[in-house]
Amino acid sequence: MASADAPRTSRLARSAITGVAAARIGAAHLGHRLRAPSPQAQAEHEAAVGRILFGALGQLRGTALKVSQVLSMHPTLLPEGVRHELARAQHQALPLNRALVGRVFRQAFGQEPEALFTHFEPTAFAAASLGQVHRAQLPGHGLVAVKVQYPGIAATIASDMQLVRTALRALARTDLPLPADSVVDSVMDEIEATLLREVDYLQEAEQLQWFATHAAMPGMAMAQPIASHTRAQVLTQQYLPGLHLDAWLATKPAQALRNQAGQHLWDWFMHCIFGLGRVHADPHPGNFLFAADGSVGVLDFGCTRSLSEGFRVQVAQAWSALLRPATDPLRDALVLQAYQAMGLGRPELSLATYTSELAPALAGMQAWQIEPFTQPVFDFSTKQPPPITPPEHQRVLGQHLAQVPGEMPAFERMWMGLMHLLSLLGARVHTHAPRIQGKAPERNSP
């Protein structure tokens, strides 16, 4: 298997890559305008722009590929064709060669990994978001997992984010439907803050310890960090047994076991969201391990997010209102009130405008978000992917959404990831409405 070198850190080289991408996006836009308009032409144009953007981010590597992954998961920021191309970043990480692994350890500990562990496997057994994971043996702890950060990652964050913003501004000069600049800026600011947290493995160790202490629940396992062998670029933690989801499903677990695993995940995430106010914000399948008894282990706490009480209250209020019958005259008023309270809807947006313009543009995504709460037991094998926002609706969102609250990108990413995970499990889960301060949203009768 090929291995990766360190990412390019020269600002000039990285700027040149982005400049070429911006020029190619402009050329693609001119070419598109010369074609007869049609849905197929629009889809091909979005895909072409997505390939240009992905190609640039792929050359930059470093945090740029991580940004590509995050943007691909944001349901309303970019057109579907662009997001589809960026999603390829999920599969692009190459393993570090042995020399680079040694360099990271020498910088962090002044020693090679073989001097720190009784045994260290030089070949990584798993990929992390900005690094890779090795098995090792440590006296007093037995088998441990050692996450090694790709070298040079932290140094590229600020420049990468500026380069991605430049590329998105090039998109804004085309006729592709994009939200207002303030919405894009708020999402990019949140992504940058998240990345800065993710590259500090000492902070991840603190998060891991916090969740292991406060979020422990029956059926959910979290490893303890090992402080003596953890630094900002190396994280050592207890090794969690279990299989990744695809391997676990290949063992053909009974429906009861899949239901049990799904129930553990649902209960844990609901508790973290509405009880603790702190969530694991990167729930893709690679971050979970499934045991033969249906218990679940949680990995990679580099991407977590605190949710303010105000944000949680407004989400619960919005979902509560959306669970009312469509004929309820208070439904739209309560949703609008919640959106404006969290800063999502413009303060001057009237109820009449919300009902006639914004509500239809949001209806598909709103229904998708609250669907699990509409039935006492929800069968996630029937859960469809999030709906595609058509260009005309995306333009309406850009007109009426004031900004994206700081917690919203991580929350949406978390919710989409949880829905995808439970769908892959095909679990039938007893759902319950979110509770804030003892008050639960109403639900329609099944």
- 446 residues of the chain, pLDDT tens digit each: 445 444 444 555 556 665 666 666 666 666 666 566 667 776 776 777 767 676 666 555 556 667 766 776 665 667 766 766 666 655 445 566 778 889 999 999 999 999 999 999 998 887 666 778 899 999 999 999 999 988 877 777 877 787 777 777 776 666 666 666 767 777 788 788 878 888 899 999 999 999 999 999 999 999 999 999 999 999 999 999 999 998 999 999 999 999 999 999 999 999 999 999 999 988 878 889 999 999 999 998 988 999 999 999 999 999 999 999 989 989 999 999 999 999 888 889 999 999 999 999 999 999 999 999 999 999 999 999 888 777 788 778 878 877 778 888 889 889 988 998 999 999 999 997 555 443 444 443 33
Residue 289, pLDDT score: 95
Average pLDDT, rounded, for the chain? 82
63-85 b/e with 16+ CB inside 10 Å = b? bbbbbbbbbbbbbbbbbbbbbbb
Name the strand (E) or helix (H) holding 145. strand 142-149
Torsion of CA 13, 16, 22, 24, to 10 degrees: -110
Output the CA torsion sign for 63, 51, 96, 286: positive
Percent of the chain past pLDDT 70, that is, above it, reads 74
Considering the domain delimited by 97-149+201-215+222-240, tell me its CATH architecture. 2-Layer Sandwich (3.30)
Question: What is the amino acid identity at position 160?
Answer: D
Q: Domains of the chain: which residue ranges?
A: 11-93+153-198, 97-149+201-215+222-240, 241-446
**d(Cα 374, Cα 443) in Å, to the nearest integer?**
6
CA-closest candidate to residue 166, choices 48, 246, 239, 67: 67
pLDDT computed for residue 272 by the predictor? 95
Q: Integer distance in angstroms from the first to the last C-alpha of the chain?
A: 52
Give the pLDDT of residue 185. Answer: 77
Please state, in angstroms and rounded to a whole number, the distance separating the CA atoms of residues 322 and 325: 8
Q: Kindly give the pairing relationship between strand 220-222 and strand 296-298.
A: parallel
Report which of 141, 152, 155 is spatially closest to residue 229, judged by C-alpha positions: 141
Asked if residue 298 lies in contact with residue 242, where contact means CB atoms within 8 angstroms, the answer is no
pLDDT tens digit sequence for 362-392: 999 999 999 999 999 999 999 998 887 777 8
CA distance 28 to 310: 43
